[in-house]
Copies of this chain bind each other. A is one copy, B any other.
């Protein structure tokens, strides 16, 4: 290849169907020039179109010239999964990214070590919960937030579907809950933070993030499947904001849940989130309400933590139907570099008692 593999973006596709190599030949053109190969100038055939560099059964690796991305995350995403998303029987299972392209990704601002410092938790898992159910007033949600902060939860986030509903309008909710959590943190000395959902219009999202910070919010929840990975990237790079960011998988599921099509769980929910600046990556834990297997959850965890240039590791944050009696099992599975996300189950019985039991279960780890 004209661009040496060391400097190339390598994307490995698992390709089903009778002719994996023929499909790979189509992909290397489709993801770059979208033009009849034989009509392109020779130098473009050699330097702009991707090159097949490895074939391992039906897994085929294509090397792309990093210049194809133009240094932008949006075009990196388009190279990764633009037109090929319309193919059937193609799944991205590995990527390798040279330093020149990694430079366009911020990665997590805080990552594992940074959040350990913020929460005064040198070794234990972090604890996150969600304010719910939708329909409660801002005042009622703040009441729950008080109980959860007093119990010692690290992150108290909005349920991701809280937006600007009439029951708890965005501005009111952010103001009331931020202030409540701030007061508790002052009293107890434990730094709980409130993390509002930036499930807000595209032309409001940057202002909303700053407004949330000004109100006292200590972190931000993003929905990159709805508002875009590059919006997360921009907020992660915003020096005046400088808040931890958690990514929620809303609207992203179809990219991962279909066998043999899409992007691997680890690459999309672990790696892409991480590259785009997510300090914490939410995903549905195995054995909960969703479809992920233990292997798929492990894949996400590995992609959150593996070495990728100087990009900081992210926290895997399994949730989605977690219960108190699974804490030990989850810590055994994920280790201590995990943010346990538990929501509705805390409301079975007394919220305060359950929250304190949860905090006890991770303290001293």
Could you list some 12 contacts between A and B, CB below 8 A? A44-B136, A48-B133, A48-B167, A68-B134, A75-B161, A81-B251, A82-B225, A85-B249, A85-B252, A88-B291, A201-B230, A201-B233
Interface residues of A in 20-53 (CB under 8 A from B): 26, 30-36, 39-41, 43-44, 47-48
Q: Does A67 contact B (CB under 8 A)?
A: yes
Set B44, B200, B225, B229: member contacting A85, Cβ < 8 A: B225
Asked whether A348 lies within 8 Å of B39 as measured between CB atoms, the reply is: yes
Chain B residues lying within 8 Å of A87, measured Cβ to Cβ, are 253, 257, 290-291
Distance in angstroms between the alpha carbons of A40 and B231 in the assembled complex: 34
Does A227 touch B at the CB level, under 8 Å? yes
* In the complex, chain B residues whose CB is within 8 Å of the CB of A143: none
Chain B residues whose C-beta falls within 8 Å of the C-beta of A134 in the assembled complex: 32-34, 44, 48, 68
| A123-179 CB contacts (< 8 Å) to partner B | 130, 132-136, 159-161, 163-167, 170
A183-191, A303-311, A339-347: which one contacts chain B?
Answer: A339-347
**Which residues on B sit within 8 Å (CB–CB) of A214?**
none
| Cβ contact within 8 Å between B85 and A161 | no
Q: Chain B residues with Cβ under 8 A from A206's Cβ?
A: 203
CB of A289 within 8 A of CB of B78, answer no
Number of copies of chain A assembled together: 2
* In the complex, A122 has a CB within 8 A of chain B: no
Give the interface size class of chain A. 35 or more
Q: Is A67's CB under 8 angstroms from B289's CB?
A: no
Q: Is the CB of B250 within 8 A of A83?
A: yes
Q: Bound state CA distance, A227 and B227, in angstroms?
A: 7
Say how far A173's CB is from chain B's closest CB, in angstroms: 11
Q: Given A32-B134, A32-B161, are A86 and B347 also a contact pair (CB < 8 Å)?
A: no
**Across the interface, which residues of B come within 8 angstroms of A136, CB to CB?**
44
Min CB distance A243 to B, Å, is 16
Query: With A40-B135, A206-B203, A250-B82 as given contacts, are A257 and B35 in contact (CB-CB < 8 Å)?
Result: no
Give the residue name and chain of the B residue nearest to A290 (CB).
B86
